[in-house]
Structures are given as C-alpha cells and as structure tokens.
Amino acid sequence: MPELPEVEAVCRVARRALAGRRIVSAHIRRRRICLPQTPRQVAAALAGKRCLAVERLGKNILIHLEGATLTVHLRMTGNLYALAHPGLRPRTTSAHLVLDDGRALVFDDPRGLGILRLGRPPGPVGPDPLSREFTPQRFAEMARAGRSPIKVWLMDQRRVAGLGNIYAAEALHRAGIDPRRLASTLRVSRLNRLHAAIVAILAVAVESASRAYRRPGGFADGEWFTAAVYGRDGLPCRRCRRLIRRIPQGGRSTYFCPGCQR
C-alpha cells in the first residue's frame, strides 16, 4: 500500500496537472470507488469546475474545486497522473477527468480498491507529520497520554495522520526506541528524538518517492530509500550487527533491532 511519502509524491503530480485547470468532464468506470455516491452524482458535481488547490491530508488527496472537494484515497494500487489525451488511458483506469487543455488526469488502479468521493474524508485525524502543527511539544503531549505500545500508537491515524508501517518502524529504529514500549512511559527527551526521526525519515522518503513518480504511471516500490529494519528480519542490524526481529503488533508486522532499540 502506498504510504505517506508515495501519496505525497502522487499529490504533487496531481497538483501540477490540475493547477488552474478546469474539469470539462468526469468519467467513472468503477461504481464502487464512489459509494455511497453514484458515478453520475460525482461526475455532475465535477463538470465545469476549476481546480483551486490540491492538498494531502494523511493518506488522502483532497482536490479543492469551485464549490466542491473531491477526496481520493489510493488504497493498495492506486495512482494519479496526467496523460496527453484521454484515449491513452490504460485498461486499469478506475476514473479519469478530462481537462480544458485536452489532457486527462487518470486514476489508475489495477486492483480497483481506491476511493474517489465528493467531500472531505470522515472522522478525526491527528496532525500531519509534515505540517507545522506537528510540533515536538504537541507530539510529546499526545504520546504521554497514550495507553498502547508506541508503534501501535504511531499507527493510529487519530494521533498522527498518514504515518504507516514502514516509516513508523524506521523512525523507532533511528530513535533507538523499542516498539513494544508503552507510549506513556517514554521520557519527553526520547519522544523529542522520535519526533525528529519521523520528520527526517519522511523528508528523505518523500524526495525518493517524488523522483520515482516523475514518469507518468511510474510506480516504483521502495525507490532509493534504504530501510534499516523494515523487511530485514533475520539480517544483521547495520548499526549494532544484532539480528533484526519481526513481531506481530496491531495486526501488522513490526521490525526492530533488539540490540539498539530499548
């Protein structure tokens, strides 16, 4: 599943494609992507609207139009990119928007699990880790009130919006924190170190993903971001040479080094 850096890269592509453009028409091939709305409702609401801004909220891409907001969630295999002509769209397209310059913004989704709906995403979300609201002070205050293991807490979108499994594990390793530690037991100094690790790792990962998404439809797994622990169970830690472990947490796999994460 695309994580925050990949979604940010796709958001940048969509922002460039839609800047100042008007949507001539919208075409939705898979009905389920806009449920409980209908393709006709969504298409009618988008036709003729000019794009005002494109932003990312966690793993959601919000396309702000005149009088409407369109939310896109990529889910497992979704991607957004522009093509010179609508007729060039692939067979795996779930929806496409015809723009006033003749191009098309394509929502390509081989597995068809993505979401494209009118309105903002439901439910409360925490601060985005790449936003100004994600301060060390706010992060530490929220974490100190947490009642779950720090890795599970980080994955709760109500606490930190968009932080996924890969980068939560990588940030905890960089900060030297055992993912099983209860969030509430961590000192502020260690939480500050974790905050800095999250911001630094995501900055590198976003640039990595952005380079991989420069080519239309080019979706590269991992790009040039090098994982320190994720997916490396049984291999030696590059820092202390202890073997990386994998444990289940919150229905996901957690990777960590028992030597340098305490």
The chain-wide mean pLDDT, for the chain, equals 93
Domains 4-118 and 136-256 share a fold: no
Q: pLDDT value at position 226?
A: 85
When pLDDT is cut at 50, 70 and 90, the band that residue 224 belongs to is low
Which candidate in 22, 238, 246, 252 is catalytic?
252
Q: pLDDT value at position 1?
A: 66
> With DSSP H G I counted as helix, E B as strand and the rest as coil, what are the percentages for the chain, rounded to 5?
30, 25, 45
Q: pLDDT value at position 185?
A: 97
The rounded percent of the chain whose pLDDT value lies above 70 is 95
pLDDT (tens digit per residue) in 32-41:
999 999 999 9
Query: Is the per-residue pLDDT at 146 higher than 70?
Result: yes
Concerning whether 49 is annotated as a catalytic residue, the answer is: no
Concerning whether 2 is annotated as a catalytic residue, the answer is: yes
DSSP state of 22: B
Q: pLDDT value at position 210?
A: 83
pLDDT (tens digit per residue) in 41-95:
999 999 999 999 999 999 999 999 999 999 999 998 899 999 999 999 999 999 9
> Amino acid identity of 258?
P
Q: Which fold has domain 4-118?
A: N-terminal domain of MutM-like DNA repair proteins (3.20.190)
What are the sequence ranges of the domains in the chain? 4-118, 136-256
Which candidate in 2, 86, 127, 149 is catalytic?
2
Strands (E), 42-200: 51-57, 60-65, 68-73, 79-83, 93-99, 104-108, 115-118
Strands (E), the chain: 23-28, 51-57, 60-65, 68-73, 79-83, 93-99, 104-108, 115-118, 245-249, 252-256
Which candidate in 6, 49, 56, 59 is catalytic?
59
> Amino acid identity of 180?
R
Q: pLDDT value at position 217?
A: 44
pLDDT (tens digit per residue) in 117-138:
999 988 888 999 999 999 999 9
Q: pLDDT value at position 214?
A: 52
Tokens 């298409």 — which residue?
43
pLDDT (tens digit per residue) in 182-222:
999 999 999 999 999 999 999 998 988 887 765 444 445 54
Query: Is the per-residue pLDDT at 238 higher than 60?
Result: yes
Q: pLDDT value at position 72?
A: 97
Concerning whether 3 is annotated as a catalytic residue, the answer is: yes
Q: Which fold has domain 136-256?
A: Helicase, Ruva Protein; domain 3 (1.10.8)
154: enclosing H helix or E strand: helix 150-154
What is the mean predicted confidence (pLDDT) over 230-247? Answer: 96
Straight-line distance from the first to the last Cα atom of the chain, in angstroms, rounded to the nearest whole number: 29
Concerning whether 151 is annotated as a catalytic residue, the answer is: no
